[in-house]
Amino acid sequence: MRQENDPISLFLTDYSGVDYSINNDNELSAHTDVEHLVNADELYIVFDTEIEGAMGPAFVPFSDESDATDFADTHGGMVNEHDEITPEIVDSHGM
């Protein structure tokens, strides 16, 4: 259920639709062009990986569940639907 301070909508990069890369420091490439953004409700999120994002531990969104699973199999981590990512999960990863 939406709380008073919850965002009305949230858009994230769909890594199923971009040619991403991971550098030697395990940092994930950023893709912020509007054509790569998808409503978060449609995404599977990989978290608890060895990969870093621009602001710390990466939460990597994919529209295709098999892409998310493949990423987690390769880089570690867990796959959840966006609405299953709780504030406690985010807080436990130093965000």
Query: Average pLDDT for residues 61-77, to the nearest whole number?
Result: 96
pLDDT in tens, 3-27: 777 777 889 999 999 999 999 999 9
Give the C-alpha distances (Å, rounded to integers) separating 39 from 1, 17, 62, 86. Answer: 17, 13, 11, 17
Per-residue exposure over 65-90, b if at least 16 CB sit within 10 Å of its own CB, e if not: eebbeebbeebebebbebeebeeebe
What global pTM score does this model have? 0.83
